[in-house]
Structure 1
Amino acid sequence: RSREIAVEASPCGKAAVGEATDVRKCSEQYCEGDQDCELEEWSEWGQCSQSCYGVQTRAREVLQNGEGAGKWCTGSEEDPALPMAEVRSCNGPRDLLPNGEEASDSEASQECGFGDQSP
């Protein structure tokens, strides 16, 4: 809200006191139409890119973009973007074998030729 001086004070009168504008929040609730970003669940991890020292990826898609005062998928400096893809190493000394099974150190070493091999 705002106000203006209707009549200036005379030399013998009192001058107007206070702010010309007054601002306050009127609603802390979402407005109709506000919508948070909604994402799919992560996909399964993809195939390893190489038989040794490769990478795998997985992704997710946007089901509903953010609207109004809702959370947005793209983010901001204060609220960074939600990741749409992830990458991890595979078929390394501490990763899974090409068939997807967990490898012991000796199995991984034999498969890819790194580390100490068991006799």
Structure 2
Amino acid sequence: MITEDEWSLILDLTKVLSHFADTTDYLGGSKYCTYSSMNPTIIEIMKWIRPSSNQVKKNLYDAMIHYFNPASSEALLAALLDPHFKKLQSFTPDQKQVAENELQNKYNEIKSNQPSTASSSPPASSQRKKKITI
């Protein structure tokens, strides 16, 4: 027979784990991009289960810190470039600054690797317009 304490524990676990079930369903969607929404979603769960006196929440929080890096540059960039998350509301001001700096660095890197366009011929669309007007 299940005791009163065991029922209480089961109810507490159900409340805690329901957030993980909802997140799993959301991130398991195949009709939309999930990488950019992964870290904001994980951060929201981590805020909810932030270490407290509840040992289960503390263990889950520690496991999430161990397995997920919510501040990885790839995840921050994906969230920043996604119109749904570009304001980075789930992230700290420091994480937002890191994301913006990383985006600027990536842009500068790509820009510096592009060949100079000053001496190249005009784009194909300009050449087509000239042919049409002649």
TM norm structure 1: 0.28
Q: How does the TM-score come out when normalised to structure 2?
A: 0.26
Structure with greater proportional strand content: 1
- The structure having more radius of gyration, on CA atoms, is 1
